[in-house]
Structure 1
Amino acid sequence: MIDIGGGLVLRPWEARDAGVVLAAFAAPEMERQADEPLNSLADAERWIARRAADREADVAYAFAVAVAYADGGTALGNVAVSAVNRTHGVGWVSYWTAPQARGRGVASRGCAALAHWAFLELGLFRLELGHRVNNPASCAVARAAGFVVEGVQRQKLAYDGVRYDVELHARLASDGRAGSARP
């Protein structure tokens, strides 16, 4: 468990978080974020099990951003680094928060702490993330977590027959710390 300040911690996902995962992915804007449909507690438990398997295989690392109680607290969202390329020291960051946690700095503090952890523990040098250009909230999270805008990837994503441009951000280990997270 990593204390990230503001009453929050990063911790691995646990089976007891299945209800939180199911509720989060039930939000209309979240259903596209899942790697497969999440329609039941069993689906959510499999989602959590895949996060644990990825960590065990040393290919991706997902953390619940949770309220900091003695028992590890209630999960409010997810931060993850995946597509880890150890040859080049690069990883891809993703994040989401449950609707009730949005606008409270949960994702930005989680991403800043995740970046710090990935640089120190995984030895990565560069972290990248992207968001649709029509998602200013996600852009604000990335900037607050110290990720710098590098450009736009034209029509990279397609949802429901519509193509979306994606703004690419990156953060380097040499950029220093950002955000309020101080793990």
Structure 2
Amino acid sequence: MRKVIFLDRDGTINIEKSYLHKWEDFEFEKNAIEGLKKLKKLGYEFIVVTNQSGIGRGYYTEDDLIALNNEMMKKLKEYGIEILECFYCPHHKEKGIGKYKVDCDCRKPSPGMLLEGIKKYNVDINNSYMIGDKKGDLEAGEKAGLKSILVLTGYGKNTVKDIEDNYLIANDLLDVTNLVK
């Protein structure tokens, strides 16, 4: 079984930018690469799970997102960091358009993307984590049976006021390495 860290993308791996979908606008969060390198040395593999309602709202396409994720994975690979897969939810039950206007089980805080990753990659949930900057990330991790860690990057500094004490908190992905075993 695999030890995996499930990662939210926007605000966790990269700097939060409204409906980011172009590689030229992508910037890694402070200490993200260093943190991922250290987590890899601790034996973790990585899966990205990201809500992308911008697709459902018609702001950009699934192809735009896939191209951006592929560039991110290519850049991370240059640092020796491999992402097993990037799962994404394009849906939004109120603001989605057409086929994207659905109440799905993949949009965080629902655990659908995580459960799919757990099954597909034979993840050891007792030794794996969900890391993100929003309450929905933490709740999705909890619903999937994972320990969840809030990072204070992205929306994390605002989120910290609204979460229960049962979640671990780290300044950024490098600081996460002090909380995992």
TM bucket, shorter chain: 0.3 to 0.5
Q: TM-score, normalization: structure 1?
A: 0.35
Query: Does 1 or 2 have the higher relative contact order (CA < 8 Å, sep 6+)?
Result: 2
Flag the structure with higher strand content.
1
Q: TM-score, normalization: structure 2?
A: 0.36
